[in-house]
Amino acid sequence: MGIIQNIRINKNLKMAIGQLEGILKMILTKRDSVEVSDQLNAVQALIKNCQNDIIKDEITLQIEDIVATPDTVDRKAKVDKLVIFIDRMIK
């Protein structure tokens, strides 16, 4: 993973952790369900962004590896691995 992307993922995950702690306090203090739900949606968005960044990075790395592989049999195996990865991510 690139350093900038790593920094962004770490920042977003730490923010999500903070929001989850805040949501727990909201629940314990019996805050309005709509407010709690809004905060849960915000956490889900942060986590989804992290997942998307990780997926983009992995696909980029795998494609670079495929392009750099001279052996056609090895390249085909790597393409198959990428297809399996993509298939898992879209389910």
The domain spans of the chain are: 3-90
* Digit-coded pLDDT (tens) for 8-66: 899 999 999 999 999 999 999 999 999 999 999 999 999 999 999 889 888 999 999 99
Alpha-carbon separation of residue 57 from 1, 39, 47, 62, 84 (angstroms): 6, 27, 15, 9, 16
pTM: 0.78
State the CATH architecture for 3-90: Up-down Bundle (1.20)
Q: Roughly how many angstroms between the first and final C-alpha of the chain, as a whole number? A: 23
Residue 4, pLDDT above cutoff 70? no
> Closest Cα partner for 13 from 63, 56, 51?
51
